[in-house]
Amino acid sequence: MNHSVKPDWDFATEYPAWWDWWVRHQVDKMKKYFDVVFKHSIDEMEKHNPIYIVRYEDMVKDSVPSTTGILSFLLEMEDISGTNAERRVNHFAELKKQNPNIDRAYVTKTTTGVANANADKYTPELLAYIKHELAHFLHFFGYVNNPDKDDEPNENAYLIYDEPHPEESQNYYKFHEANTRALRRVCGTDGSEKRIYKYKVNNPDYCFDMITPNIN
């Protein structure tokens, strides 16, 4: 599986047992991954490492706000107005208007850019498992329906909760708030002493196998 080609067979249809195992396995690993990321870079960013979050959908829709935020974070400047960085962001945005494919690094599949193109591959049971196990992250990134305003559709609501989630509804779309906090942290404007972060990648205390080998 990769970004450029599709397999010659349909896993969900031709190998349903394997597909059910694979999806659940990936959900479990994804939850572990995000648990570590959230603990170190959102919940305890002052102690570990702050991060700046950008959603793919937002970059595709309008790259300027997201790219501006990334550069502000990297340059440790809450406002890049009047800088060469801002000029380059706006220049690239104009080029992209003239040629939408200017930033394409690989040949894309025909389904690329189609929201929920493979939703039919997931059984109700698998969707329920995803919604249960990844509820926190789905709400935080805004990939569910608005829990408070049904009349305000969310074009990125890939999973629908019939009833507001009792614990996670309050975290809906909160990644913007985390970005504001992270930017103030790296700029040293949050009231805490500015520091240089040193984060140990692949710390054995937090590592886990992405694929559990079958040795039988």
Domain assignment of residue 8, yes or no: no
For 37-55, give the DSSP string. Answer: HHIIIIITTTTS-------
Residue 42 neighbours by CB distance under 10 Å? 21
Determine the structural domain holding residue 53 and report its residue range.
Answer: 25-187
Domain assignment of residue 134, yes or no: yes
How many domains is the chain partitioned into structurally? 1
- CA count, 13 A, side-chain hemisphere, 8: 0
Q: Please state the pTM of the whole predicted model.
A: 0.84
HEC profile for 143-209? CECCCCCCCCCCCCCCECCCCCCCCCHHHCCCHHHHHHHHHHHHHCCCCCCCCCCCCCCCCCCCCCC
Query: Which pair of tokens denotes residue 215?
Result: 């040795």
Domain assignment of residue 173, yes or no: yes
Residue type present at position 139: H
pLDDT string in tens for the chain (216-residue length): 555 677 788 889 999 999 999 999 999 999 999 999 999 999 998 888 899 999 988 988 888 999 999 999 999 999 999 999 999 999 988 888 888 776 665 555 555 556 677 888 999 999 999 999 999 999 999 999 999 887 778 889 999 999 999 999 999 999 999 999 999 999 999 888 877 777 776 777 777 777 765 655
Domain assignment of residue 198, yes or no: no
